[in-house]
Structure 1
Amino acid sequence: MPWVVLVIAAFMELVWATALKQSDGFTRLWPSVIGLSVALLSVVVLSVALRDLPVGTAYAVWVGLGSLGVAVTGMVVLGESVTPSRVACLALILIGVIGLKAVEG
């Protein structure tokens, strides 16, 4: 169950980072409110996962999945560039996350 909680926290990373992009430097109210609120909630949910997971593993997975999600959202939704090298690097992040899960069990 802590891994499910951790994945939820990582998904929240995707939400808040995307909302902050849409906030246009905190000049738009609702994307700013959503971004900051979900960022705080993401940290709270991460802390719940940390009850049962090692901090190094949990933090690496949280940041890794969050970064991966934001990058993919940027490419698919926001029209950011999709290059083979970028996709390969993102695949390495995913492999690292899967590896951490495999060794932690």
Structure 2
Amino acid sequence: MAWIILIISGILEAVWATALGKSEGFTKLWPSVVFGVALVASMGGLAWAMRTIPTGTAYAVWVGIGAALTVGWAMATGDESFSFVRMLLILGLVGCVVGLKPVGHE
């Protein structure tokens, strides 16, 4: 269950990061509200998952999911340019994060 919560928290990290950018320095109401709600939920889920998943592994997975989804969403919506090199680097990041699960516990 902790892994599912951690993955959801990573997704919420991408939500709050995107909303933060769209809030234009907290000058737009709804992106700012989405940012606050997603931030609290994301951090809460990370904290909950870290009760059973080692801190380093949990944090790396959380950041990796959030970073990959944030960049992927920005490329999909046209906010950032797409390139195959960027996509390969994101896939490499995801591969490394996925690799942490089987080697996380001894």
Mapped to 2, the partners of 1:78 and 1:66 lie a distance apart of 18
Mapped to 2, the partners of 1:104 and 1:66 lie a distance apart of 19
Mapped to 1, the partners of 2:58 and 2:78 lie a distance apart of 28
Residue identity matched to 1:27 = T
Mapped to 1, the partners of 2:37 and 2:78 lie a distance apart of 22
Residue number in structure 2 paired with 1:77? 77
SS in 2 for 1:80: coil
The C-alpha deviation readout for 1:12-66, integer Å capped at 9, x for no partner, is: 0011111111111211011112102211221011000001100000000000000
Query: Unaligned 5+ residue runs, structure 1?
Result: none
Residue number in structure 1 paired with 2:22? 22
SS in 1 for 2:89: helix
Residue number in structure 1 paired with 2:99? 99
Q: Report the CA distance between 1:84 and its aligned residue.
A: 1.6
Query: Unaligned 5+ residue runs, structure 2?
Result: none
Between stretches 27-36 and 67-76, larger displacement belongs to 27-36
Residue number in structure 1 paired with 2:52? 52
Residue number in structure 2 paired with 1:32? 32
- TM-score (normalizing by structure 2): 0.93
Size of the aligned set, in residue pairs, is: 105
User: Which stretches of structure 1, 4 residues or more, deviate above 2 A after TM superposition?
Assistant: none
- TM-score (normalizing by structure 1): 0.93
Residue identity matched to 1:89 = L
Identity %: 42
Aligned Cα RMSD in Å?
1.2
Q: Report the CA distance between 1:79 and its aligned residue.
A: 3.8
